[in-house]
Amino acid sequence: MIPVLGLTGQKIAVLGLGRSGLATARALRAGGAEAICWDDNAAARERAEEEGFTCLKLTRQGAFDDIATLIVSPGIPHLYPAPNPVVAAALSAGVPVDNDISLFFRSFATRDWDNFETMPKVVAVTGSNGKSTTSALIHHVLDHSGRRTQLAGNIGRGVLDIDPAEDGDVVVLELSSYQTELARSLTPDIAVFTNLSPDHLDRHGGLGGYFAAKRRLFAEGGPDRAVIGVDEAEGSFLANQLSMGPSDDRVLRISVDQKLSGPGWNVFAKKGFLSEYRKGRQAGSIDLRNIKGLPGAHNHQNACAAYAVCRSLGLAPRVIEQAFHSFGGLPHRSQIIAETGGVTFVNDSKATNVDAAQKALGAFKRIRWICGGLEKEGGLGDLANHAGEVVKAYVIGREAANFAMQLTGVDAEVCSTMDVAVAKAVQDAQDGEVVLLAPAAASFDQYDSFEKRGEDFIQLVQNHTKR
């Protein structure tokens, strides 16, 4: 646990008592503050009370009279589409609103660091797609190389739930836009921007607000080094804003769409080969084509980002390459779950938006595509134009028929449920084909989460392939 520093003796309100909220309350108490907690869910309040925390409804009259700060869990809106009533009450009372990410950055460094030979580092990864895989890959490479490392944030443990730093530690944080948009303190040593595509637009008031939330990690944080994906206009703009000139190697540009040149520090992947160029000369390369845990161009982008971070931390290209080969990938992200009868089954349930699904479709050949779910704002766009390798689509979800109608030019069958879709795809699949779950939609019409959706797919595939 990371005890929260600088709030001793103060009353701090904590809104939301899920994984991060309860960890925040514990860390506040460990640092000498008093946590006043609230969650609309009675079971969550009961868990907190069992640990000795006081739970008080924070919308009652005078609730913020003696509160120094309100700490808000990431899923709770504070501005768009409308502030949560508790947040609105804090704003009205003039009480600062913050989150656990900010508390972490304010509390991670301690006087113990004065005795370390190598200062601990914090790597923070954000972006629309690939941030989980990129974070896990960085963590894996560091662990493989013998560096002590911890993985936290939007993946792994809560940021305040990790262990205090030891000499030479590297903490890798995956940070969502929900986490970066509110944190008052953001001071990573290395910050990563993978890419940007429309997502969570209602929460951020549009694409500009969404990009602004991501950009705060760099503008507010002032990292010593920034790794920026430049395949979208926003990334290219961000890299330009952070750089002092073409040779400024504090900014590492990465790409899977173009060969990057110039006197700066660049990492790109073309046709399955990763290349590192520095000061106009090649400094390293990796053949990514046979690395099973990193299939497709979208994972090659993740590899470029992880490679750039690990090179910034002093690791040799050969060490990074060796670690890449032992990386097994993450559950629900281009996860190969079975290979039988010449058919490969891939679970990419995390492809909850159109851009992620496009990337998954580009990673495989001859695809039996299971898709559909709760359609996100903005519709399916030109998703059908990226379905050239799709032999047939099997559409699930409550509005499967409407979803299927938007897949113009694609042979699509309305299945509605996962069990029907898997059964038909298994029956139809032929040698050399891939049965791919890449929904291009949220899961909440039929499942509690994308994880539950992926687990259902895995179980159904296992039931059919064992017959």
Q: Which residues participate in the annotated binding site?
A: 127-133
- Of 24, 38, 312, 318, nearest to 158 by C-alpha is 24
Q: What is the DSSP string of 69-95?
A: EEEE-TTS-SSSS---HHHHHHHHHT-
Residue positions forming the annotated binding site for ATP: 127-133
Start-to-end CA distance of the chain, whole Å, equals: 47
Phi and psi at residue 265, to the nearest 5°: -110, 115
- Of 53, 45, 57, 55, nearest to 89 by C-alpha is 57
Evaluate whether 12 touches 67 at the Cβ level (below 8 Å). Answer: yes
Per-residue tokens: 314: 């002093």
Reading phi first (left if > 0) and then psi (alpha if -120 to 50, else beta), residue 318 is in alpha
- Of 304, 301, 299, 306, nearest to 275 by C-alpha is 304
Evaluate whether 373 touches 452 at the Cβ level (below 8 Å). Answer: no
Q: In what order do the strands lie in the sheet with 434-437?
A: 335-340, 343-347, 434-437, 367-371, 390-396, 412-416
Per-residue tokens: 381: 């766009």
Say how many C-beta atoms besides its own lie within 10 A of residue 218's C-beta.
24
Task: Kindly state the DSSP code that residue 198 receives in the 8-state scheme.
Answer: -
Phi and psi at residue 362, to the nearest 5°: -80, -5
Distance from C-alpha of 397 to C-alpha of 294, rounded to nearest angstrom: 29
Task: Kindly state the DSSP code that residue 202 receives in the 8-state scheme.
Answer: H
Evaluate whether 347 touches 439 at the Cβ level (below 8 Å). Answer: no
